[in-house]
Structure 1
Amino acid sequence: MFRAIRIHAYGGPEVLKLETLPTPVPGTGEILIRQEAMGVNFIDTYFRKGLYKLPTLPAILGMEGAGVIEAVGADVTDMAPGDRVAYPTALGGYAEVRTIAADRVVPLPPFISSDVAAGVMLRGLTVHALLREVYDVKPGETILVYAAAGGVGLLMCQWGRHLGARVIGVVSTEEKAELARQNGAADVLIGHDNLPARVRKLTDGAMVPVVYDSIGKDTFVASLDCLAPRGLMVSYGNASGEVTGMSVGMLATRGSLYLTRPGLTTYIAQRSALLKGAEELFGLIGQGVLSVRIGQRFALADAADAHRALEARVTTGSTILLP
């Protein structure tokens, strides 16, 4: 038997229930992991609320985790019990043990702890996709990053600086602003009011070639107005709600802009891409270029409190659950 957090209906944090379930057996191509840490991400709240629909209910939430392999199923020949592994995008993470397709995990190097892995896999590979694939950031460019003191944001500040970019971060408090500066943001703006005007001032009227917006509904139009002609709007989150009802004409009138709504699963669908991204991510951590901040640790049983903290925007860095 094992403990897990399940939901039986969509709703607020109160729908997260701690339950005891039978231990699963890995099927063909699967492994069984004894989890040592699990990541908590905004996408988990989208699934919990029903913004993103789950395949079935009840369901175990959580997309990210790390631990030790306890058993392997048929046809798994390159992994064995005792191996340390982690994964970034597979539902079923809020649990002491879980099965998962073997091709969705990556081996952990000795210098990456399970806590760090659970706090960086989804966020770090998201940043890799955003800065290297969705838009290939060049030295000397200026980029605008929302939620710059969050788990993704801090990594974007660090990685952007490493790539030679000038990072303008957007945060909600002076405390978070200082954290963003410490992690590589050249300039930090507090709050969303008059954002385009403030970006115009910082860039001497040039605006930015790319905006990374994880907020969604409340900031969408302002983000478009921060872009230079033919700039790219990267809308990759819905912290304030889903963006709906826009007209594509908004892109034309603001300078022939581009808009994308990327999802990490597309960028790591091939195992080779997953391994390549993880290798680059772990390499930069090992070199000290990237520092993973675990801002909050909650017991598995307190997953609801973790969701409340995340949605109240009082967290910094990554949030993890511990079994």
Structure 2
Amino acid sequence: MKDYRLVVRQFGGPELIESEPLVGGPVAAGQVRVRHRAIGVNFIDTYHRSGLYPFPLPAALGVEAAGIVEAAGEGVGGFLPGDRVGYVSATPRSYASWADLPADRLIRLPDTIDDRTAAAVLLKGLTVQTMIAGCARIEPEQSALVLAAAGGVGRMLVQWLSAIGVRVIAHAGSAEKAAIARGLGASEALHGPFETLAEAVRAANGGAGVDVVFDGVGAASWNASLDSLRPRGLMISFGNASGPVPPFIPLDLTKRGSLFLTRPKVHDYIDSRAELDAAAAALFAMIADGKLDVAIGLTLPLSDAAEAHRALEGRQTTGSIVLIP
């Protein structure tokens, strides 16, 4: 098949994803052309597709991939054809046979991490690293609630937090998924309705709320997550799997005990080359030390990206989804 990329020409459902030819000219100065070998699928891709996070139409899709350097533009040093690299892009572009990237945003991949693992872990892993180290700054023996704990980001959060000595209370959508979270290191694994979550969290945490909540669910879990925190606890809202969170006023935080709230964007924490390298090194070290098991729940051809989105939005998988060009 000739080179192509996937786009949407109007915002909406997975059925609107279509392909178009991808024709390459000279690589621009400071850019590197990466031939994709594996492409990660993330919830943010569905937000770009639906228009929740809109880009000008026709909008490309996908923000992470792993592959090899095919060519480099003028002024690029340090990367040669054949080098293995990965990336996390602020601008969607990865649902494609290849992409041109600024050289200073590429991540050199160690030999110990294969292409599919890299595509499955880069965005999620860097997100987890920045939330734990940059946002929460959580310490051993503190407590955390992780929602959607068997999903791509959730399972990495559970493992990473447990590895650094945090008491993790996990919540998942079924008993089977809760069992997965417990196997990943969660001290407690819940799967009841959100209406009773805060009560269950306190029962599992000695009667107290947790220090930090990591919530990628959004609308459905919003109040339950806030109610699960101790006074002066931190709410990290990082996703909208069930839809955007409802409108709220700062008094909602005051009434619950002077809570803190952040809505992080990973690119704000890896903005410089030094920050990107440090975050990637921490992620790769966790994997090399056996503390972070990267599970790929579904692998599909790039042409089946719509099916990948349906599976992701339908909560039909655990772990990461990877597309192969």
Which TM class, normalised by the smaller chain length? over 0.9
**AA matched with 1:285:** I
Deviations 1:229-284 (A, max 9, x none): 00011111011111232011001111011111001010011111011000111111
Deviations 1:20-40 (A, max 9, x none): 221243211110011000000
CA distance in 1, matches of 2:286, 2:26: 35
Is 1:52 equivalent to 2:58 in the alignment?
A: no
Deviation at 1:49, TM superposition (A): 0.5
CA distance in 1, matches of 2:317, 2:25: 33
Question: Matches of residues 133-172 of structure 1 in structure 2 within 5 Å?
Answer: 133-172=134-173
Structure 2 match to 1:222: 224
Deviation at 1:59, TM superposition (A): 2.2
- 1:24–1:257: structure 2 CA closer, same or farther, 3 Å change rule? farther
Is 1:74 equivalent to 2:74 in the alignment?
A: yes
Structure 2 match to 1:14: 15
Deviation at 1:18, TM superposition (A): 2.2
CA distance in 2, matches of 1:21, 1:200: 53
Structure 2 match to 1:281: 283
2:209 to 204, 207, 210: 207
CA distance in 2, matches of 1:242, 1:197: 24
1:320 to 311, 319, 322: 322
CA distance in 1, matches of 2:248, 2:202: 24
**AA matched with 1:258:** F
Deviation at 1:89, TM superposition (A): 2.8
Percent of pairs identical after alignment? 46
Deviations 1:27-81 (A, max 9, x none): 1111001100000000000010100011x21122000000000000111011111
Deviation at 1:104, TM superposition (A): 1.0
Aligned length: 322
CA distance in 1, matches of 2:27, 2:274: 23
- Secondary structure of 1:193's counterpart equals helix
**AA matched with 2:292:** L
Deviations 1:98-132 (A, max 9, x none): 11111111100001100000000000000001111
Structure 1 match to 2:250: 248
Contact 1:142 1:165 in 2 (8 A): yes
**AA matched with 1:219:** S
Alpha-carbon RMSD across the aligned residues, in angstroms, is: 1.0
- Secondary structure of 1:313's counterpart equals coil
**AA matched with 2:285:** G
- Secondary structure of 2:96's counterpart equals coil
Structure 2 match to 1:89: 89
Structure 1 stretches of 4+ with a deviation exceeding 3 A read none
Contact 1:25 1:32 in 2 (8 A): no
Contact 1:32 1:98 in 2 (8 A): yes
**AA matched with 1:263:** K
- Secondary structure of 2:310's counterpart equals helix
Contact 1:4 1:18 in 2 (8 A): yes
CA distance in 2, matches of 1:99, 1:292: 27
Deviations 1:70-96 (A, max 9, x none): 000111011111110001234200011
Structure 1 match to 2:30: 29
Deviation at 1:183, TM superposition (A): 1.0
In structure 2, runs of 5+ residues without a counterpart are none
Is 1:127 equivalent to 2:119 in the alignment?
A: no
CA distance in 2, matches of 1:172, 1:24: 47
CA distance in 1, matches of 2:277, 2:207: 40
Deviation at 1:222, TM superposition (A): 1.1
CA distance in 1, matches of 2:322, 2:26: 25
Contact 1:25 1:99 in 2 (8 A): no
CA distance in 1, matches of 2:294, 2:255: 40
State the TM-score, normalized to the length of structure 2: 0.97
2:302 to 300, 303, 320: 300
CA distance in 1, matches of 2:74, 2:208: 57
CA distance in 1, matches of 2:100, 2:256: 48
Structure 2 match to 1:181: 182
In structure 1, runs of 5+ residues without a counterpart are none
Deviation at 1:224, TM superposition (A): 0.7
Moved more, 259-268 or 19-28: 19-28
Contact 1:38 1:320 in 2 (8 A): yes
Deviation at 1:158, TM superposition (A): 0.8
Deviation at 1:137, TM superposition (A): 1.6
